[in-house]
């Protein structure tokens, strides 16, 4: 029997061709020229994930047989004893995706063929439109329609530029209120309902609309809001509740027929198992690298299929092109694929990540290259180093100055 191909090195790269810092993992092997690439992007804590890989995971991985993907994932997950956190999961994901990339390159097949083959030729996508008021949002939606998009997520943008939580509460705050990203949940709900009314009034049913509450309402306000948006027939309403209030989905589900999506903040199996097996949501939205990569995502997609739940993996700008391509392979082979969140990368990102899939008429098309199908220009990536900053938008505050959820 031929000697196994083993991991000879693990390298990490942080690049920022656009708004977000992206973390790429490169797994090199004992076979010259054979390497894999994976996405480990937790943009808010990108340096912590890089340090975990460079200082801990790399030593664990060197010398292991590249074909033992599941074994490596299970062992690496518990190697630090404590597990299921955002930093460890993203580190695992970078390595896991790279090992799947290597397997596809060895087989000479695109990953979706290794996952059982295509259930569809391309993945329907949605992308984002926002605006300071309803007519700005309508203009942006119409511009995307003209590009061929049929599914659009619509949000009102705050004065400060954020798109979650609407209405900056300039109203009276207690003396000495702390600085922060203020928002007013009740005004947000009212303004958003007004925006959806105007959108349907102008565009009718000719476009599928999605909206992200981004956990900005109290549980009972979320129940009321999910009922109030029913007439607008949303494709889905996302993150109506925070992960900490999952149990409220039982009530929410009973009270509304609006399709519900949840999961981008999930890191622990308990979180996605419950909302799936209770049939509390219609779309799971996990960020694949926050789960630990392709290996867990495949298993969870299969579980969701059994409960009539579809996938809508998290895919904004803080998922790298490698991560988007990995999502796409999962989606092409999943019978219960729902929709792909697309962030419209700039041409710089396409140059740094050759092979990044492209959208045509609202569909994301894979390349037929073996593995994940996206490469990485390390030299060009180094020209766009990360800019570090303290997150402002996550410092959310309610009108009375008390901490809110971002």
- Reduced to 3 states, what is the DSSP secondary structure of residue 371? strand
CB 210, CB 234: distance < 8 Å: yes
Spell out a b/e string for 125-164, using b for 16 or more CB atoms within 10 Å of the CB, else e: bbbbbbbeebeebbebbeebbeeebbbbbbbbbbeeebbb
- 164 as an active site residue: the answer is yes
Which string of DSSP letters, residue by residue, matches 244-272? Answer: GGGGGHHHHHHH--S-EEE-TT--SHHHH
**Min dist. Cβ of residue 212 to ligand GCO (A):** 5
- Residue 219 partner contact from Mg ion, ligand GCO, none using kind-dependent CB cut-offs of 5 to 8 Å: none
Binding mask of the shown chain, residues 237 to 276, with x at each position contacting ligand GCO by CB under 6 A = ---------------------------x------------
CB 393, CB 406: distance < 8 Å: yes
Q: Which of 214, 270, 283, 217 is nearest to 248 (CA)?
A: 217
* Number of neighbours of residue 214 by Cβ within 10 angstroms: 22
**Min dist. Cβ of residue 212 to Mg ion (A):** 4
- 387 as an active site residue: the answer is no
Which string of DSSP letters, residue by residue, matches 82-126? Answer: ----HHHHHHHHHHHHHHHHHHHHHHTSBHHHHTT--SSSSEEEE
Residue 151 binds ligand GCO, judged by CB under 6 A: no
**Looking at 35, 126, 164, 188, which residue is catalytic?**
164
Place of tokens 């203009």: 139
**Min dist. Cβ of residue 355 to ligand GCO (A):** 23
**Min dist. Cβ of residue 264 to Mg ion (A):** 5
In eight-state DSSP terms, residue 36 is E
Residue 318 binds Mg ion, judged by CB under 5 A: no
**Min dist. Cβ of residue 393 to ligand GCO (A):** 8
**Looking at 112, 211, 214, 340, which residue is catalytic?**
214
Residue 212 binds Mg ion, judged by CB under 5 A: yes
CB 191, CB 165: distance < 8 Å: no
Q: Could you tell me how many residues of this chain bind ligand GCO (CB under 6 A)? A: 7
Binding mask of the shown chain, residues 298 to 337, with x at each position contacting ligand GCO by CB under 6 A = ------------------x-x-------------------
Nearer to ligand GCO (CB atom), residue 212 or residue 375: 212
Nearer to ligand GCO (CB atom), residue 230 or residue 391: 391
Q: Which residues bind Mg ion (CB under 5 A)?
A: 212, 264
Q: Which residues bind ligand GCO (CB under 6 A)?
A: 43, 212, 214, 264, 316, 318, 341
Enumerate the active-site residues.
Answer: 164, 214
């Amino acid at each position: 029997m031929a000697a196994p191909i083993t991991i000879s090195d693990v390298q990490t790269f942080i690049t920022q061709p656009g708004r977000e810092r992206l973390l790429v993992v490169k797994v090199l092997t004992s076979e010259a020229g054979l390497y894999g690439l994976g996405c480990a992007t937790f943009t808010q804590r990108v340096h912590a994930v890089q340090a975990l890989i460079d200082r801990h995971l790399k030593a664990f991985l060197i010398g292991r047989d590249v074909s033992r993907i599941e074994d490596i994932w299970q062992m690496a997950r518990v190697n630090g004893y404590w597990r299921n956190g955002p930093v460890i999961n993203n580190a695992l994901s970078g390595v896991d995706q790279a090992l799947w990339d290597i397997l596809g390159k060895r087989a000479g097949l695109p990953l979706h063929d290794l996952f059982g083959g295509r259930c569809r030729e391309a993945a329907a996508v949605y992308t984002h439109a926002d605006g300071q008021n309803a007519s700005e949002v309508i203009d942006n939606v119409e511009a995307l329609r003209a590009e061929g998009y049929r599914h659009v997520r619509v949000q009102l943008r705050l004065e400060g530029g954020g798109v979650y939580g609407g209405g900056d509460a300039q109203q009276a705050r207690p003396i000495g209120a702390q600085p922060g990203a203020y928002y007013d949940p009740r005004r947000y709900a009212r303004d958003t309902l007004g925006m959806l009314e105007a959108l349907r009034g102008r565009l009718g049913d000719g476009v599928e609309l999605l909206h992200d509450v981004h956990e900005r309402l109290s549980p009972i306000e979320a129940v009321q809001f999910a009922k109030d948006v029913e007439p607008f027939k949303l494709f889905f309403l996302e993150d109506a509740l925070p992960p900490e209030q999952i149990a409220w989905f039982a009530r929410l589900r009973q009270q509304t027929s609006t399709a519900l999506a949840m999961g981008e903040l999930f890191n622990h199996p308990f979180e996605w198992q419950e909302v799936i097996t209770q049939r509390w949501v219609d779309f799971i939205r996990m960020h694949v690298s926050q789960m630990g990569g392709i290996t867990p995502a495949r298993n969870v997609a299969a579980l969701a299929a059994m409960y009539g739940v579809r996938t809508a993996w998290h895919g904004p700008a803080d998922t790298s092109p490698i991560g988007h391509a990995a999502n796409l392979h999962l989606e092409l082979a999943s019978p219960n694929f729902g929709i792909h969140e697309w962030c419209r990368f700039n041409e710089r990102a396409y140059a740094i990540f050759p092979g990044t899939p492209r959208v045509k008429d609202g569909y994301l098309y894979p390349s037929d290259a073996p593995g994940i199908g996206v490469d990485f220009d390390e030299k060009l990536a180094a020209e766009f180093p990360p800019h570090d900053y303290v997150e402002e938008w996550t410092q959310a505050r309610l009108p009375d100055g008390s901490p809110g959820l971002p």
